[in-house]
Amino acid sequence: MGRLIILVLLASECYFGECNKQVIPPSYCEIDLGVHALKFDFRKLSEVNDDYILKHESTNETIKFQLCKPLKKTCNEASGVAGCLIRGNEEIILGKVPEVQHEDGRISFSYVGEKCGDKFYYTFNVIMMCDSQAEYSYPELFPYDQKQCNFIAVWKTKLACGVNFEASEHSVDCKVTDEKTKTFYDLGSLKKTSDNYIVHIDNKSSIILNVCHTVVFGSGVVCPFSAACLRNSTNSITYSSIGDVSSPKIVNGSVTLTYSTGALCADMTHSDTTISFVCDFKAYETQPALGQLKDDCHYNVIWKTIAACDNKKAEEYKQKTSASCKFTNPITNYEYNLDSLKGEDYIVRSANDEYKFSVCGPLLTNFCKKGNDDSAGVCSAHNRIVGGKANSKLISTVGGLYLNYTDGSSCQGNRSRFTIIAFRCSPEGSDAVPIITEESTCHLVIQWNTSLACEKKV
């Protein structure tokens, strides 16, 4: 019943001339790379009512184009044009039917238009890039200068992943729990949908891999469907699977991905790839590195990343270190950056006590924690006294910067403790460990000589 109504509506729309006559787009929009059944069909991108319009703000110019059919309107009074530049009052032809180019996974639509000056022609290149998440995406124009002849746009779209993509895309759960320690890990943040990780073996060969997901097709990545693939350009460029998608496992207490049943090796066993993860709280957006290479069949990759840390601790760490530890001198505009001191607990000792403190964020391991209050930035080891709550408000002073952690444990009746962490400028290479320079019932002063507190002349 529902279907019938839709049919009637469509028919009536067409009857009143509202829908385009079904123009069969030219076949140049169907591309067969002839390898691994990689076929593409971009005709869908021209099943739109309006032409694509790319605005370029800085030059106040506009490019109108279509991939698989001519523009709806004329360009500089010419019809059959597929790319048109609007520059001031002028309309410039960027090209008629584009030429489709593909080389080693790089697919582009290349337009050549009218003359630009005496020697050159206007050109427009649309580079197609696979992004499995990009369903109704718009191309992006590369920024350019005034009076340009050549223009480039990048179009991230699911259609550039291939027509068989959905059937062959393989994405698995990326979480694992260590049953012994009940620790939960989630590598999901490492999964990529528009590019891959590359681990170089030598100048000519590299491992292309993804996490819990098939390798994403693209420039220099014409892999068979697999989670890891070997690219070798020693003679001609070849690609072979070195392991299928799988979920992480706990091996010997650490998170490991084992991609097995890759292409056959010389000894008729299947190739595979093992990715060993190492938890490192400070390792954001790191790249995997080549591990020990035993032979041409079994590949090892090592990856230091926060994603491989106990999920709960990683979230806590991110939250505690999220504040920016920077200060800009309003007169010189110089920006002090103490971010590298974040995310670590430091220990300082006095004659009577030992204190743990952190910079620009709460302590990571806080023995002064009371109930849910985890805000301490200084905690004394002997008495579990909070020296002050952490903050990231850097204050500038002669010869450096300081933090004032206030609202610590109460002292002298109704007062509360505070701690000054003073960063004093000291020349590069003379960085010292922090020391206590003042200690009293209600306050503590920690001094830290570091080159990070120096204003370099800019």
Ligand X SMILES: *[C@@H]1O[C@H](CO)[C@@H](O)[C@H](O)[C@H]1NC(C)=O
Write out the residues near ligand X by the rule CB under 6 A. 60, 86, 201-203, 205, 232, 234-235, 251-252, 296, 404, 406, 413-414, 418, 420, 424, 426, 432, 435, 449
The H or E element spanning position 320 is helix 311-320
Pick from 126, 133, 195: which is nearest to 154 by CA? 126
Which CB atom, from 202 or from 373, has the smaller least distance to ligand X?
202
Q: Which is nearer to ligand X, 333 or 414 (CB)?
A: 414
- Would you state the structure tokens that stand for residue 351, as one six-digit string? 């004659």
Q: C-alpha distances in angstroms, 107 versus 154, 211, 326?
A: 11, 24, 43
User: In the bound complex, what is the minimum distance in angstroms from residue 196's beta carbon to ligand X?
Assistant: 17
Nearer to ligand X, 108 or 449 (CB): 449
Our CB check for ligand X shows the closer of 10 and 53 to be: 53
| Closest distance of CB 303 from ligand X, Å | 15
What is the closest distance, in whole angstroms, from the C-beta atom of residue 422 to ligand X in the complex?
9
Question: Which residues in 376-401 are b (16+ Cβ under 10 Å) and which e?
Answer: bbbbbeeeebbbbbbbbebebeeebb
Would you state the torsion angle of the CA atoms of residues 408, 409, 411, 417, taken in this order, to the nearest 10 degrees? Answer: -10
Closest CA to 400 of 439, 371, 437: 437
Q: How far is the CB of 222 from ligand X (least distance, A)?
A: 16
Output 112 or 201, the one with its CB closest to ligand X.
Answer: 201
Least spacing, CB of residue 298 vs ligand X, in Å: 12
Q: Tell the smallest beta-carbon distance from residue 389 to ligand X (Å).
A: 11
Smallest distance from the beta carbon of 107 to ligand X, in angstroms? 25
Choose between 372 and 430: whose C-beta lies nearer to ligand X. 430
- Which is nearer to ligand X, 166 or 295 (by Cβ)? 295
Give whichever of 141 and 314 is closer to ligand X, judged by the CB atom: 141
Q: Which residues contact 338 (CB under 8 A, 6 or more apart)?
A: 325, 326, 327, 359, 360, 394, 401, 423, 452, 453
Question: What are the counts of helices (DSSP H) followed by strands (DSSP E) for the chain?
Answer: 3, 35
Q: How far apart are CA 206 and CA 214, in angstroms?
A: 16
Q: What is the CA radius of gyration of the chain?
A: 30
* 12 φ/ψ angles, rounded to the nearest 5 degrees: -70, -35
CB of 205 vs ligand X, minimal distance in Å: 4
Query: Least separation, in Å, of the C-beta of 105 and ligand X?
Result: 18
Please tell me what DSSP assigns to residue 225. S
Handedness of CA 387, 392, 393, 399 (dihedral sign): positive
Burial of 166 (0-12, 13-18, 19+ CB in 10 A): exposed
Nearer to ligand X, 108 or 426 (CB): 426
Token pair of 214 as six digits: 């098939």
Q: Which residue is nearest to ligand X (CB)?
A: 413
Cα torsion angle, 146, 147, 150, 156, sign: positive
Give 251 or 347: the residue with its C-beta nearer to ligand X: 251
CA-to-CA distance for 446 and 168, rounded, in angstroms? 59
Residue 142's identity, in one-letter code, is F
Nearest C-alpha neighbor of 72 from the set 53, 48, 91, 51: 51
Smallest gap from residue 9 Cβ to ligand X (A): 38
Compute the least distance from the CB of residue 417 to ligand X, in Å: 9
Residue closer to ligand X, measured from CB, 307 or 420? 420
Structure tokens at 278: 């190492």
